[in-house]
């Protein structure tokens, strides 16, 4: 599977990554190489094989739906790029 | 006596204090780390405060790790100490909490000297993708130390600390341990909590350790292992006494040797060193059994779907809003996301996020992610069948010794194939260890041992028996002796 520059631009946007335009061809090459490696998977016969999502085949553990953490907003917001009045600030979304 | 036991004995006999040990280690870091770049952060004041507290505990008698310094891979959150994960994205991130593994080692009385350099977000096999520059191999500073836990491995090899933590998603403990000539140990998936360990690929990530011997790794695992409510994949089963398993007796132990791990690509002298290692095991009474793991060649392709897919999802949290890097003057919210992530992540991380995003995108999910999950089961089933016949599996850890800095950096696929012998154990969730087994061109190489799920005691004992019969693990790089 080889990726064209416009596919790289699309994937980069889906992943919310701004790429330098002059690097797009390099990325297209590199990603195509990686997908070429991955394409070897086609050789494996997986008919009737159950997909393995967890190495120990364990189901997710449930816990009691109870408050386990106190309020640590100040500690967490102390390391945020921009906050105001206990809220995280981002550029205006609604005009 | 192992290094950690020797230090514990000296501390207990009051021949040395924890403060003295810590000062000595900090001085060594000061003297040598300019050449190695193994640490991104040194926390001298905090370490000395911990050491003073340890000395007070020691006076009253303490555990086997009290007062012994170590270095944490910079992927483990440390409260109040910057945790960068080797990335510009987290260059300013000071976590308000400790990872569970850190908490456990703190509670055992160990002293944190600092945080080890690593490949960015643990993505790399050479420690060259770090935002803080490459780490150099103490055996030859023109060579890579391996990765992603390259800083941890180089630090222990150079004697900057007697132990270090690491994480292993596709070989990130075992591979650098092999290339730096030390012992590196990855427990079973779920044995050590992942809480507070910055996630790369959640179904593969496992915390472990580096030290000079399997015996020291057993002491470290004893402190690190255990159930944790806060990690939904931590396994709730008792932690056995690992030191008690180290009898050194491997008479009758069946050691499987998979032909696929000795096929094309394995460098000839590395092969000879590993074969000599297997003979040592036989000399100690083990029975060598030829086995086959037929899906071995599918492991790297499987990994490069599963790991990037999970990474693209895990790393979506770095959005420039709540913590970490934010671009200057974002025009709008979309620009904030695009540029914070475009500028904050390095190239290898961006490549993997894009591979993962592509593999998970509409129309490709079945062909990539679902297919990879099916092949993953075939790989795990290979091991399941093998362990019906044998007790442990022995192989090379890598195809050869360390390579030169820059040699493979521009070719991701060649770099990825480095981990061909280590990745299968991650896909299956198995415990593995790399022990030094010789030198090629004056650079160390390692023998990998794997055991069934949760048989860490057996695994450590096999490596311990090997280390009782050999002295490769005691060799030190020139200029970094003592």
ipTM for this model? 0.96
**Is 90 exceeded by the pLDDT of residue A59?**
no
Q: Which of A:20-79 have CB within 8 Å of B?
A: 27, 30-31, 33-44, 46, 49-56, 58, 60-61, 63, 68, 72, 75-76, 78-79
Task: Tell me the pTM.
Answer: 0.97
Nearest CA to B255 among B432, B459, B392? B392
pLDDT category of residue B406 using cuts at 50, 70 and 90:
very high
In this prediction, residue B60 carries a pLDDT of 85
Q: Which residue pairs from B243-249 have beta carbons closer than 8 angstroms and sit at least 24 positions apart in sequence?
A: B243/B215, B243/B218, B243/B219, B244/B457, B245/B218, B245/B456, B245/B457, B245/B458, B245/B460, B245/B461, B246/B214, B246/B215, B246/B218, B246/B460, B246/B461, B246/B464, B247/B461, B248/B461, B248/B464, B248/B465, B248/B468, B249/B285, B249/B461, B249/B465
Nearest CA to B156 among B172, B175, B176? B176
* pLDDT tens-digit series, residues B328-343: 999 999 999 999 999 9
Show which residues of B are catalytic: 73, 148, 172
CB B33 within 8 A of CB B97: no
Widest pairwise Cα distance in chain B = 70
**Is 90 exceeded by the pLDDT of residue B6?**
yes
* CB-based burial label for A93 (10 Å; 0-12, 13-18, 19+): exposed
**Is 70 exceeded by the pLDDT of residue B294?**
yes
* pLDDT tens-digit series, residues B155-184: 999 999 999 999 999 999 999 999 999 999
Q: What percent of chain A has pLDDT over 90?
A: 77
> Average pLDDT, whole number, for chain B?
97
pLDDT category of residue B288 using cuts at 50, 70 and 90:
very high
Cβ contact B295–A75 (<8 Å): no
Cβ contact A3–B358 (<8 Å): yes
- Fold (CATH) for B3-253+451-474: Amidase signature (AS) enzymes (3.90.1300)
**Is 90 exceeded by the pLDDT of residue A6?**
yes
Q: Which residues of B touch A40 (CB under 8 A)?
A: 297-298, 301
Buried b (16+ CB within 10 A) or exposed e, B45-80: ebbbebbebbbeebeeebbbbbbbbbbbbbbbbbbe
Token pair recorded at residue B279: 């003979």
Q: B372: nearest CA in chain A? A: A41
Q: Which of B:266-305 have CB within 8 Å of A?
A: 295, 297-298, 300-302, 304-305
In this prediction, residue B482 carries a pLDDT of 65
In which element (H, E) is residue B254 found? Answer: strand B254-258
Q: Where are the beta strands (DSSP E) in B353-410?
A: 392-396
* pLDDT tens-digit series, residues B270-286: 999 999 999 999 999 99
| Domains of chain B by residue range | 3-253+451-474
DSSP secondary structure code for residue A19 in this structure: P
Token pair recorded at residue A63: 């816990």
Q: Cα distance from A89 to chain B (closest Cα, Å)?
A: 7
**Is 90 exceeded by the pLDDT of residue B362?**
no
């Amino acid at each position: 599977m080889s990726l064209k520059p416009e596919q790289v631009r699309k994937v980069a946007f889906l992943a919310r990554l701004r790429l330098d335009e002059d690097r797009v061809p390099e990325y297209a090459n590199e990603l195509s190489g990686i997908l070429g490696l991955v394409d070897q998977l086609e050789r494996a016969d997986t008919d009737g094989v159950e997909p393995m999502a967890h190495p120990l085949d364990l189901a997710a553990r449930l816990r009691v739906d109870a408050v386990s953490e106190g309020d640590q907003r100040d500690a967490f917001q102390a390391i945020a790029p921009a906050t105001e009045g206990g809220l995280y600030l981002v550029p205006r979304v609604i005009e | 006596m192992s290094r950690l036991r020797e230090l514990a004995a000296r501390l207990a006999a009051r021949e040395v204090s924890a403060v003295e040990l810590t000062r000595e280690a900090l001085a060594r870091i000061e003297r040598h780390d300019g050449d190695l770049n193994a640490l991104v952060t040194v926390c001298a004041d905090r370490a000395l405060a911990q050491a003073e507290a340890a000395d007070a505990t020691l006076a009253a008698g303490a555990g086997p790790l009290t007062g012994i310094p170590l270095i944490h891979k910079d992927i483990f959150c440390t409260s109040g100490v910057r945790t960068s994960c080797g990335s510009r994205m987290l260059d300013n991130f000071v976590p308000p909490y400790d990872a569970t593994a850190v908490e456990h080692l703190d509670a055992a009385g160990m002293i944190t000297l600092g945080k080890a350099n690593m490949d960015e977000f643990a993505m790399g096999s050479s420690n060259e993708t770090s935002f803080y520059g490459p780490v150099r191999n103490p055996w030859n500073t023109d060579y890579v130390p391996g990765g992603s836990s390259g800083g941890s491995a180089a630090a222990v090899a150079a004697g900057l600390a007697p132990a270090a933590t690491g994480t292993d998603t596709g070989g990130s403990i075992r591979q650098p341990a092999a290339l730096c000539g030390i012992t590196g140990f990855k427990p079973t998936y779920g044995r050590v909590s992942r809480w507070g360990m910055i996630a790369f690929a959640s179904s593969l990530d496992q915390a472990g350790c580096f030290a000079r011997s399997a015996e020291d790794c057993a002491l470290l695992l004893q402190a690190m292992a255990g159930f944790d409510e806060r990690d939904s994949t931590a396994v709730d089963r008792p932690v056995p006494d690992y030191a008690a398993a180290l009898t050194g007796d491997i008479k009758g132990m069946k050691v499987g040797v998979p032909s696929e791990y000795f096929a094309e690509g394995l460098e000839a002298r590395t092969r000879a060193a590993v074969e000599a290692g297997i003979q040592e095991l036989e000399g100690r009474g083990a029975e060598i059994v030829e086995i086959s793991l037929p899906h071995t060649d599918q492991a790297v392709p499987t990994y490069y779907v599963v790991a990037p897919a999970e990474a693209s999802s895990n790393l979506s949290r770095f959005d420039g809003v709540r913590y970490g890097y934010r671009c200057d003057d974002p025009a709008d919210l979309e620009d904030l996301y695009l540029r914070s992530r475009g500028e904050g992540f390095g190239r290898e991380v961006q490549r993997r996020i894009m591979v993962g995003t592509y593999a998970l995108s509409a129309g490709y999910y079945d062909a990539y992610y679902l297919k990879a999950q099916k092949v993953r089961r075939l790989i795990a089933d290979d091991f399941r069948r093998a362990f019906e016949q044998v007790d442990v599996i022995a192989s090379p850890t890598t195809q050869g010794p360390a390579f030169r800095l820059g040699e493979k950096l521009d070719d991701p696929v060649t770099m990825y194939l480095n981990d061909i012998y280590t990745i299968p154990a991650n896909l299956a969730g198995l415990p593995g260890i790399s022990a030094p087994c010789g030198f090629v061109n004056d650079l160390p190489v390692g023998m990998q041992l794997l055991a069934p799920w949760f048989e860490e005691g057996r695994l450590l004992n096999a490596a311990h028996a090997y280390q009782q019969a050999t002295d490769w693990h005691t060799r030190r790089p020139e200029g970094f002796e003592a």
